[in-house]
Amino acid sequence: MIGAVVFDLDGVILDTEELWDEVREGLARERGGRWSERAQTDMMGMSSLEWSQYMHDVVGLTDRPEEINREVVQRMLDSYAHRLPLIRGAVEAVRRLAARWPLGLASSSNRELIDRALDVSGLASLFRATVSSEEVARGKPAPDVYFEAARRLDVKPRRCAAIEDSANGIRSAHAAGMRVIAIPNAAFPPPADVLELAHAVLRSVSGLTPDAVEPGSSRPEQ
């Protein structure tokens, strides 16, 4: 029986995967980095410590990783101030599930981006626990951020459902032993072998109902 639901943020609630790509690529090109097509795929799911080090070591930016991180986050915050890119139907889906289960959030975003997004969207009060991968030892696809979300919710990982869109996110939640509900990212779709790790695959977040998370959960209790 499911005891809690843990959401990813980017690609599930916010349409930001391409924005992250644009911001990091823009910074790389401005500062003489070696951007490649695989850079975005490599960095999806990484913690801020990991992707900023990647941009220093692999992309070739000469700035210190902490400076790279600070600049990228500021550009993301500036974009959020202009328009928070909520995915259509995401707010309603979060509210539907919050009426049934305690909610957590396990995100690769920086803490300040998580807090800003949940505050602006009006969803902050619906999440009992939120975790940034910069607060754990390893980013996705390692399970650390999902383990920590379950710990803060005080629910065993095997009794949690995770809502994910990306290959590394699905791998992370699966490795944590959670029931995985995949909503494939259209811009960066997970490969078929990764989608096979999910217990259910939905076409969009609008289809995220209690019954999609746990079949039969909408039935009245006897």
**pLDDT tens digits, 159-211:** 999 999 999 999 999 999 999 999 998 888 999 999 999 999 999 999 999 99
222 within a domain of the structure (yes/no): no
Domain contains 103: yes
Which of 82, 106, 121 is the last residue before a domain boundary?
82
- Domain range for 25 is 17-82
Residues 189 and 116 in one domain: yes
pLDDT band at 222 (very low <50, low <70, confident <90, very high): very low
- In 3D, which of 217, 157, 148, 205 has the Cα closest to residue 181? 205
Q: Of 108-112, 151-155, 187-191, which gets the smallest average pLDDT? A: 187-191
Give the count of domains, the chain.
2
Which of these three, 82, 107, 125, is where a domain ends?
A: 82
Q: Nearest 5°: CA angle at 122, between 186 and 26?
A: 45
Is 126 within the bounds of a domain?
A: yes
For the segment 55-82, the average pLDDT, to the nearest whole number, is 95
Looking at residue 176, which CATH number applies to its domain? 3.40.50.1000
What are the structure tokens assigned to 189, written together? 């779709």
pTM: 0.88
User: Which of the listed residues 82, 100, 122 is the one where a domain comes to its end?
Assistant: 82
* Omega before residue 141 within 30° of 0, cis: yes
- CA 174 – CA 168 distance, rounded (Å): 10
**How many Cα neighbours within 13 Å face the side chain of 207?**
10
pLDDT of residue 109: 94
Same domain, 29 and 126: no
- State whether 75 and 180 are in the same domain: no
Domain identity same for 163 and 129: yes
Residues 37 and 142 in one domain: no
Same domain, 105 and 41: no
Residue 10 structure tokens? 């980017």
